């Protein structure tokens, strides 16, 4: 990673420049003052997606899910816990495929839950099906090593 990274604020989506070596110390958004890392997944809409997936240096793991999906509901608490454990190395986010049909179509989501790891706008890895907390953290960690 470069010395300085561009990180989108999880609250206002503003781009922030942060030293890579100091990500673990947190940091606040220069625009709204919110913490850059909040230990929970972001809820992304189509409008917010580009900023977080394409315009930042931080890898992004997106859970494509739907409220009616049983396996999605089972995985949700594990995904929530993983966000706290994996930040600041990676940001976790959720996209409701019923509410954001264009994103589901753009990434050809055919089953849910589906996890996609993005880095600088590029899809790096994909995993379909519910995972336990340990499986989720292992999958993300393994995929981050490939970046």
Which residues are catalytically annotated?
69, 72
Name 12's Cβ contacts closer than 8 Å, sequence gap at least 6.
29, 31, 32, 34
- Residue where the block lists tokens 């890392």: 37
Whether the CB-CB separation of 136 and 127 falls below 8 Å is answered with no
**Spatial distance between the Cα atoms of 73 and 67, rounded to a whole number of angstroms:** 7
Q: Which two tokens stand for residue 15?
A: 């781009």
> What's the CA angle centered on 55, arms 27 and 85, to 5 degrees?
45
């Amino acid at each position: 990673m470069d010395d300085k990274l561009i990180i989108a604020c999880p609250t206002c989506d503003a781009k922030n420049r942060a030293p890579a070596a100091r990500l673990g110390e947190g940091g606040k958004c220069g625009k709204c003052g919110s913490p850059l890392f909040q230990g929970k997944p972001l809820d992304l809409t189509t409008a917010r997606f580009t900023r977080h997936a394409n315009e930042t240096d931080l890898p992004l793991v997106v859970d494509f899910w739907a409220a009616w999906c049983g396996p999605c509901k089972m995985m949700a608490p594990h995904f929530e816990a993983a966000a706290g454990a994996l930040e600041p190395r990676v940001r976790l986010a959720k996209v409701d495929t019923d509410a954001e049909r264009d994103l589901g179509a753009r990434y050809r989501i055919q089953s849910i839950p589906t996890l996609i790891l993005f880095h600088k706008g590029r899809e790096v890895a994909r995993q379909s099906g519910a995972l336990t907390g340990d499986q989720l953290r292992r999958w993300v960690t393994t995929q981050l090593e490939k970046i």
